[in-house]
Amino acid sequence: MVGARSGAAGALVSLLLAGCASPVQVAPASLVPLSAPAADFVVDADVPIRLSTGYTRTLPAQSHWRAVGSLPQGLVYQPVNTVFAVEGRQVHEAYLVLQGKALQGFYLPGEGNFSPLAPPLTLPTTQGGKR
Amino acid sequence: MRRNVFLKAGLAAAALVLVSGCATGIKHEQMASGMPSLKAGEGRIYFFRSSSMVGAAVQPEIRLNGQVVGTSKPGGFFYLDRPAGNYVAAASTETEKSVSFTLQPGETKYIRSSVSFGLVVGRVVLEPETPEKAKAELGTLSYTGAPIAAR
């Protein structure tokens, strides 16, 4: 009886949590155009990214990313052959922000915001040509 | 015996709900060639939802930057041409889920709506989809947007 009650309570809590996901943390950001050509890159293998909201998003293997600007946190890369979004309470189209190969967070182009990733994550990438 | 009658009646009612809940317009593959081309400075936004019995009765309105532009229906799609810029699309059930994205000139964006389970009713999640996956599904989906003027 107690087991059934606690199971039901657990299920209710899970449902409540799913309905009340935390929002994606953001800060205003101004994308600065590239001052010099920057190389594209390709992700070598699937990279699951655990977000602070509890959701996981995966960068697909062989996804191709092109530098489109910079932020104080790093270079901003837009997907070329895929789409990418981060999710919390809401969903946000997202570009990657990297310093070297370390993913620092995401630029949300539909809002002009930056969302940090903690801790940064080193990506397995192969560099492509410069634009 | 009586139980069988109830079961059959229940199944028939469920089938009726499912059939009436699905989109039934012209198929994308039948209208694709007649779609207008994009005007300069505009992009196209597709909203689509797979044919699925899961949560078929959940059919919220879809709003784009606060304006109602259509309905999320299983097996349905519609599209809008809009000036390049930033957009927020939202669908409300027991809670509101939105997706923010940017639309560039000449770009076609595909926004998938799908049902996930909530506390009382399902909630509809909107998220960007790749052109490849979207096009693979669009062919069999039915148009649920505003009537298109003959050209």
Which H or E element spans position B14? helix B2-21
List chain A residues with CB under 8 Å of B64: none
Q: Which of B87, B99, B118 lies at the smallest CB-CB distance from A19?
A: B118
Residue B96 lies in a domain: yes
On whether any CB of chain B is under 8 Å from the CB of A62, the answer is no
List chain B residues with CB under 8 Å of A108: 100
What total of structural domains would you count in chain A?
Answer: 1
In percent, the amount of chain B with pLDDT more than 90 equals: 55
CA-closest candidate to residue B142, choices B79, B90, B89:
B79
A129 CA to chain B: closest CA distance, Å?
Answer: 23
Residue B148 lies in a domain: no
Residue A12 lies in a domain: no
List chain B residues with CB under 8 Å of A57: none
CATH number (domain holding residue B130): 2.60.40.2890
Q: Are A24 and A109 in contact (CB under 8 A)?
A: no
Cα distance between residue B129 and residue B141, in whole Å = 15
**In this predicted model, what pLDDT tens digit does every residue of A40-98 receive, in sequence order?**
999 999 999 999 999 999 999 999 999 999 999 999 999 999 999 999 999 999 999 99
A105 CA to chain B: closest CA distance, Å?
Answer: 17
Residue B18 lies in a domain: yes
Confidence of residue A19 (pLDDT cuts 50, 70, 90): low
What total of structural domains would you count in chain B?
Answer: 1
Q: What is the ipTM of this complex?
A: 0.84
Task: State the pTM of this model.
Answer: 0.83
Residue B149 lies in a domain: no
Residue B58 lies in a domain: yes
Residue B150 lies in a domain: no
- pLDDT exceeds 70 at position B79: yes
Residue B151 lies in a domain: no
Range of the structural domain that residue B42 is part of:
2-143
